[in-house]
Structure 1
Amino acid sequence: FHCCVSVSLRFSMADRREQRVCIKFCFKHGKTAAETHQMLKQAFGENSLGQTQTYNWYKRFKNGRTSTDDDRSGRPSTGTTPENVAKVRDLILQDRRLTIQDLCNTLGLSYGTCQRILSEELITSWIGAKFVPRLLQNEPKQHRLEVCRELEQQLQEDPNFLSKVVPGDESWVYGYDPQSKQQSSQWKSPSSPRPKKSSISQEQR
């Protein structure tokens, strides 16, 4: 009897890991969490993971997790201690694009511990950068300011100055493949502004 239970348990653990691999596969191929859950039910029947488990694992892979191993079978959890919270905060401040799995690998903490620290202790959220036409550096900003001041001065000297102006603009851009919204995602606290990313890498005028 003990042998049968042991074999059954090993098969159960292997079956769950296989389903986690399937969830990761579906996420990589653009399936939604709901579609993934339905596919698991069709493939594994009564032995499929529940909806909550499926959605939780789908969210983990979406947040950057790569491992399909169960947290309980890996490194021991040390909890959300003040020391661990400080370590996670320092790493996030150094690089806001670190994924939860990156933090796990660096600090040796479980996935669940890092996730709780980020969401409950540091109150951060994983958010994609907002795409804008371009991000001006200090020099172009200063140049535009000087041009505006010159135009204002000429307008004061000649009230009909604007009627003589013919507006025009021309931009030369380099073709390139921008990062996707997922690739440009980073951690954001409630008080910090949403990150921005230019849709143009370089420009010439």
Structure 2
Amino acid sequence: MENQKFEHRSIIKFLVLEGQSPSNIHERMTAIYGDSAPSRTMVFEWVPRFKNGQLNIEESPRSWRPISTTDEKTIKVVENLVIEDRRITIQEIAEILSISSGTVHGILHDHLHMTKVCSTWVPHSLTPLQRHERVEACEELLARYETEGNDFLSRIITGD
């Protein structure tokens, strides 16, 4: 496959040096190679390179790395925004921080483990303090049930 790419680029380079247009180069290569011909996009990508003097038919090495906005600082800022306003939307956070909504979504779900419940961001799991408080509340209710019995249960009111 790699050899075929080099072959295609060599032909494109030759036809550019002959003065052929990108459309003509693509037509000629499709007539000869059929389905294995380079795509129109690939031809139109390489023609300007060769016209501008690039002699090498290999891809330029990519020394750059995409910038990631999912760093500790951004995660902390997102967390603070959510703590300040539990009803803030992903889009609003993305606009405030000038990052993509997909990145914000990933931070909220993958890093902060939060989910949206009734348009409010809530932690997906309880903190150790919250777990301890719930256990204490349940133990108090159990102790009252053991001393008061069914009378205690008949006085409990629940709601949404």
TM superposition score category, shorter chain reference: 0.3 to 0.5
Q: Larger C-alpha radius of gyration, 1 or 2?
A: 2
Select the structure with the greater relative contact order (CA < 8 A; seq sep ≥ 6). Answer: 1
Higher helix share: 2
How does the TM-score come out when normalised to structure 2?
0.39
How does the TM-score come out when normalised to structure 1?
0.30
